[in-house]
């Protein structure tokens, strides 16, 4: 089994969503356009292998993504090395798709694209279809046949959904009428599970862009929706909580246990500050299957990723605990006075990036695990995979911080069986817990 390369995964809200449909094609057709050049230079300086983009207008084709790539990212900006992303993904967003209903309860419905009045009654706010859309750029192949999208999932189909009410009774959920809830989509843009293949090893890029938890009233309809958009991914990665989820093809269920994933995107929720619904961001930052041991920071200082509201952490790259290890990362926000600080004026968000090392998935390289006693010694044995290095850790408690590397020596036989002896572990008669870890040689 060959070790795959370390990779950099990034998310970037590029703010390339002008308010008219004609504006972005014209901007991206001109290689001298200032903001796309700044966006491209930031991308070139970080050089992520996989990049999730928020707020890039979509016209029903991949034209805007291709133009951003070909006219800016693939051309050197200020002497930076051009970046080539041969694998690209961009499909329909719920933004600007009119619902046919008065979703903001203004008393009127405007079905003519081009205004905020029109956008307020769309499944996701947009002055025209495709404003504020999403995209993926990758240096590694995307398994497009295995992509799952969740743009049509109905909010009311989430058990315990935080549907807004105006009566003061949480059980009423009466901001939206039954006929509106019958079509109301949870995702304000979409939720995408995009499998990226790195030398034969899959990473599921879980991308989304929940609605801002503002621009509403006491009913907090956007704050509640933001919370539940985040919750969809939090449930999707837990097999015990994913049975209600269905994708746009009608397939049910979530990701499954023990898969590599990276949650990316502008989540519009800060775990400590801002206007988000209570506990919204914590659904990620305190999730047991998400590795939150490393919080990216910028040269400017702190973990903020957005310039508005005094600075907030709303953009995330969150890897799974399974199959990935964080090597480092950061937020591209140069310190004041740095000549590069002028680049960030192109967007009110900053790129967040993590350097990741792929690790073997245990269900692929450990099977038939057995634990036996030999006097006071504990012996663990399992079927091992070639090209994989194993280590075993032990602890007296699952919840404690006293995990230590076992003192035994690993041995292997010709049949592919690995074993390790923890000398004297059973002598006290107390229960011991073991954790097997694997890494590519």
Expressed as residue numbers, the domain containing 23 is 7-359
Residue 1 lies in a domain: no
Last residue of a domain, one of 328, 359, 390: 359
CA dist 339 and 347 (Å) reads: 17
Last residue of a domain, one of 324, 359, 394: 359
* DSSP, residue by residue, 73-128: ITS-STTPPP----EEE----SBT-B-SS-TT--S----SSSSHHHHTTBSB--SS
Q: Print pLDDT tens along the chain (441 aa).
A: 778 999 999 999 999 999 999 999 999 999 999 999 999 999 999 999 999 999 999 999 999 999 999 999 999 999 999 999 999 999 999 999 999 999 999 999 999 999 999 999 999 999 999 999 999 999 999 999 999 999 999 999 999 999 997 665 555 558 999 999 999 999 999 999 999 999 999 999 999 999 999 999 999 999 999 999 999 999 999 999 999 999 999 999 999 999 999 999 999 999 999 899 999 999 999 999 999 999 999 999 999 999 998 999 999 999 999 999 999 999 999 999 999 999 999 999 999 999 999 999 988 899 999 999 998 888 999 999 888 988 888 888 876 677 888 866 567 777 688 888 888 888 877 788 888 888 998
Q: Are residues 285 and 407 in the same domain?
A: no
Q: Are residues 352 and 384 in the same domain?
A: no
Q: Are residues 292 and 268 in the same domain?
A: yes
Q: Are residues 50 and 157 in the same domain?
A: yes
What pLDDT is stored for residue 349 in this prediction? 98
Three-state SS sequence of 225-285: HHHHHHHHHHHHCCHHHCCCCECCCCCECCCCCCCCEEEEEECCCCCCCCCCCCCCCHHHH
Residue 67 lies in a domain: yes
CA dist 102 and 155 (Å) reads: 17
Residue 318 lies in a domain: yes
> 83 with 47: CB under 8 angstroms?
yes
Residue 336 lies in a domain: yes
Residue 286 lies in a domain: yes
Q: Are residues 294 and 402 in the same domain?
A: no
Q: Are residues 68 and 187 in the same domain?
A: yes
Q: Are residues 334 and 379 in the same domain?
A: no
Other Cβ atoms within 10 Å of 308 Cβ, number: 11
Other Cβ atoms within 10 Å of 357 Cβ, number: 16
Q: Are residues 71 and 99 in the same domain?
A: yes
CA dist 265 and 212 (Å) reads: 13
Q: Are residues 337 and 375 in the same domain?
A: no
> 153 with 184: CB under 8 angstroms?
no
Angle at alpha carbon of residue 208, lines to 15 and 113, rounded to 5°: 55
Distances (CA, A) of 377 to 371, 391, 420, 433: 10, 17, 10, 14
What pLDDT is stored for residue 220 in this prediction? 92
Q: Are residues 301 and 421 in the same domain?
A: no
What pLDDT is stored for residue 79 in this prediction? 97
* DSSP, residue by residue, 343-380: GGGG-SB--EEEEEEE---HHHHEEEEEEEEETTEEEE
Q: Are residues 341 and 385 in the same domain?
A: no
Residue 75 lies in a domain: yes
What pLDDT is stored for residue 173 in this prediction? 58
Last residue of a domain, one of 329, 359, 389: 359
Q: Are residues 344 and 394 in the same domain?
A: no
Angle at alpha carbon of residue 62, lines to 61 and 67, rounded to 5°: 130
Tokens representing 82?
């051009």
Residue 317 lies in a domain: yes
CA dist 224 and 276 (Å) reads: 8
Angle at alpha carbon of residue 199, lines to 193 and 201, rounded to 5°: 45
Nearest-10 Cα torsion for 328, 35, 135, 5: -30
Distances (CA, A) of 191 to 225, 279, 311, 317, 380: 13, 20, 25, 15, 41
CA dist 207 and 110 (Å) reads: 30
**Token pair 């933004």: residue:** 95
Identify the CATH number of the domain in which residue 386 sits: 2.60.40.10
Identify the CATH number of the domain in which residue 81 sits: 3.60.10.10
Residue 2 lies in a domain: no
Task: Provide the domain count of the chain.
Answer: 2
CA dist 41 and 405 (Å) reads: 44
């Amino acid at each position: 089994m060959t070790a795959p390369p370390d990779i950099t995964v990034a998310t970037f809200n590029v703010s390339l969503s002008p308010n008219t449909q004609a504006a972005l094609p014209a901007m991206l057709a001109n290689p001298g356009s200032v903001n796309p050049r700044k966006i491209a230079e930031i991308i070139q300086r970080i050089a992520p292998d996989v990049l999730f983009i928020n707020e890039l207008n979509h016209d029903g084709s991949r034209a805007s993504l291709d133009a951003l790539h070909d006219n800016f990212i693939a051309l050197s900006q200020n002497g930076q090395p051009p970046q080539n992303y041969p694998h690209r993904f961009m499909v329909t967003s719920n933004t600007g798709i009119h619902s046919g209903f008065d979703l903001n309860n203004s008393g009127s419905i405007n079905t003519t694209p081009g205004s905020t009045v029109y956008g307020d009654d769309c499944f996701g706010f947009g002055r025209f279809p495709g404003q504020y859309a999403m995209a993926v750029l990758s240096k590694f192949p995307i398994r497009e046949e295995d992509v799952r999208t969740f743009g049509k999932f109905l909010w009311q189909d989430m058990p315990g959904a935080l549907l807004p009410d105006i009566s003061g009774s949480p059980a009423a959920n009466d901001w939206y009428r039954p006929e509106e809830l019958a079509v109301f989509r949870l995702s304000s843009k979409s939720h995408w599970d995009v499998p990226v293949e790195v030398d034969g090893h899959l990473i599921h890029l879980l991308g989304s862009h929940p609605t801002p938890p503002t621009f509403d009233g006491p009913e907090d309809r956007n704050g509640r929706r933001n919370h539940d958009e985040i919750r969809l991914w939090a449930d999707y990665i837990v097999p015990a909580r994913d049975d209600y989820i269905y994708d746009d093809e009608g397939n049910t269920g979530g990701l499954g246990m023990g898969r590599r994933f990276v949650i990316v995107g502008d989540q519009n929720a800060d775990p400590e500050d801002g206007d988000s619904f209570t506990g919204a961001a914590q659904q990620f930052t305190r999730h047991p299957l998400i590795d939150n041991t490393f919080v990216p920071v910028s040269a400017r200082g702190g973990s903020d990723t957005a310039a508005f509201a005094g600075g907030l952490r709303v953009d995330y790259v969150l890897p799974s605990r399974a199959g990935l290890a964080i090597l480092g990362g950061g937020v591209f926000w140069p310190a004041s006075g740095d000549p590069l600080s002028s680049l960030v004026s192109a967007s009110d968000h900053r790129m967040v990036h993590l350097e990741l090392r792929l690790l073997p998935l245990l269900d692929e390289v450990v099977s038939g695990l057995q634990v036996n006693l030999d006097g006071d010694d504990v012996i663990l044995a399992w079927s091992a995979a070639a090209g994989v290095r194993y280590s075993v850790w032990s602890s007296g408690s699952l919840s404690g911080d006293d995990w230590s590397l076992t003192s035994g020596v690993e041995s292997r036989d010709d049949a592919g069986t690995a074993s390790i002896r923890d000398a004297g572990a059973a002598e006290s008669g107390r229960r011991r817990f073991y954790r097997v870890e694997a890494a590519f040689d």
